[in-house]
Amino acid sequence: MTPKAFLIATSLALTATFAAAENIKLSVTTSFANSGLAEVLLPEIAKDIDLNVQLLIVGTGQALELGANGDVDAVLVHSRKAEEKWLAEGNGTHRREIMYNDFVIIGPSVDPAGIKTSATAADALKAIEATKSKFVSRGDDSGTHKMELALWQNAGVTAEGDWYASVGQGMGAALNTAAGMNAYILADRASWLNFANKADLAIAFEGDPVLFNQYAYMPVNPEKHAHVKADAAAKLEAWLTSPRAKELIENYQIGGQQLFVFNASTK
């Protein structure tokens, strides 16, 4: 056999075929995937309703863009304003809330801005700005980034200057940067608890209701993109809002802490 023929034969032999179960493409935010919940839910979905969910793990901005272009069948994101705009543009059929977790402000364990005792998230951000403590921003148009911008606006602070680093990366990469710089950063609790490279960082501020992080599921509009698997998307929605999903989501813990609260309304 000539080398080339050998290589061609090998590459043909390597072409794997996948199980016959129906596939559905779902774009989700990095924070959802990094939380580890997907690894719990996906095998159960495959078992219960014979649906093979293929995850595209991207920022909220890109997740919505993939849906708008018809490249996925549904999206699961957490940025209400962007979701509503996306729906208004006719990209999806409807929005269904599934669950929430919350955001926390992570910072150096010595807490140079002293935000542990802040009364509100706005006070905490004001303190960070006043002390010019280093702060890492996702800067990637993701749900977390949008939440952060809303919080700065809410606090009446313009986040600009040497202390403010916008990295334009996903949650994990931004946390790695914050760990390296020993800086403050806004993160969702799930990603933080699951993050392995915590270095000297710790939760500096938590608990303000404005830090509420609602995840919503939106099927892509089949009238706009005829090829999308609307039936499979409906089947997945029914499962995600079922008592079975509630049980799995609420029992998902890291280090003894519950990460998500199921709040889907059962139709």
Partner 1 sequence: MDKIWEALYQAARLIFGFDPDLVEITLLSLQVTVTATLIASAIGLPLGAWLVVNRFRYRRIVIAIINALMGLPPVVVGLFVYIMLSRSGPFGVLGLLFTPTAMIIAQVIIITPIIVSISHQAIRELWADYHDLLISLNATRLQRVMTLIKDGRRALLTAALAGFGRAIGEVGAIMIVGGNIDHVTRVLTTAIALETGKGEFGLALALGFVLIGMAILVNLAVHGLSRTERGSRW
> Is 69 among the residues that bind partner 1 (CB under 8 A)?
yes
Query: In this chain, which of 97, 225, 250, 261 binds partner 1, going by CB under 8 A?
Result: 225
> Judged by CB under 8 A, does residue 114 bind partner 1?
no
Listed residue (57, 29, 97) closest to 246, CA to CA: 97
**Minimum CB distance to partner 1 smaller for 127 or for 172:** 172
Name 219's bridge partners: 74
> Contact between 219 and partner 1 (CB under 8 A)?
no
Q: What span, in angstroms and rounded, lies between the C-alpha atoms of 166 and 259?
A: 27
Q: 56: closest CA among 82, 75, 70, 81?
A: 75
Does 172 interact with partner 1 (rule: CB under 8 A)? Answer: yes
Nearer to partner 1, 42 or 49 (CB): 42
Report, in Å, the least distance between residue 190 CB and partner 1: 12
Per CB under 8 A, 56 contacts partner 1: yes
Q: Of 32, 195, 205, 252, which one interacts with partner 1 (CB under 8 A)?
A: 195
Q: Which of 54, 131, 154, 258 binds partner 1 (CB under 8 A)?
A: 54
Q: In whole angstroms, what is the distance from residue 129 CA to residue 121 CA?
A: 12
Tell me how far apart the alpha carbons of residues 112 and 87 are, in angstroms, rounded to a whole number. 42
- For residue 73, the minimal CB distance to partner 1 (Å) is 11
Q: Dig out the tokens for 196 from the structure.
A: 């392995």
- Per CB under 8 A, 17 contacts partner 1: no
**CB neighbours of residue 17 within 10 Å:** 5
Phi, psi of 254 (to 5 degrees): -125, 125
Binding status of residue 79 toward partner 1 by CB under 8 A: no
Q: Where are the alpha helices (DSSP H) in 73-216?
A: 80-88, 121-130, 143-155, 171-181, 189-194
Phi, psi of 130 (to 5 degrees): -65, -35
State the CB neighbour count (10 A cutoff) for residue 48.
13
Which segment (51-59, 124-132, 135-143, 181-189) binds partner 1 by CB under 8 A? Answer: 51-59
Alpha-carbon span 248 to 153, nearest angstrom: 36
CB of 21 to partner 1, least distance (A): 12
Least distance in angstroms from the C-beta of 53 to partner 1: 10
Pick the binder of partner 1 from 11, 17, 265, 266 (CB under 8 A): 11
Tell me whether residue 54 or residue 154 sits nearer to partner 1 (CB atom).
54
Tokens of 2: 């000539």
Residues that bind partner 1 (CB under 8 A): 3-4, 6-8, 10-11, 14-16, 18, 25, 30, 34, 54-57, 68-71, 170-173, 175-176, 179, 194-198, 225, 227
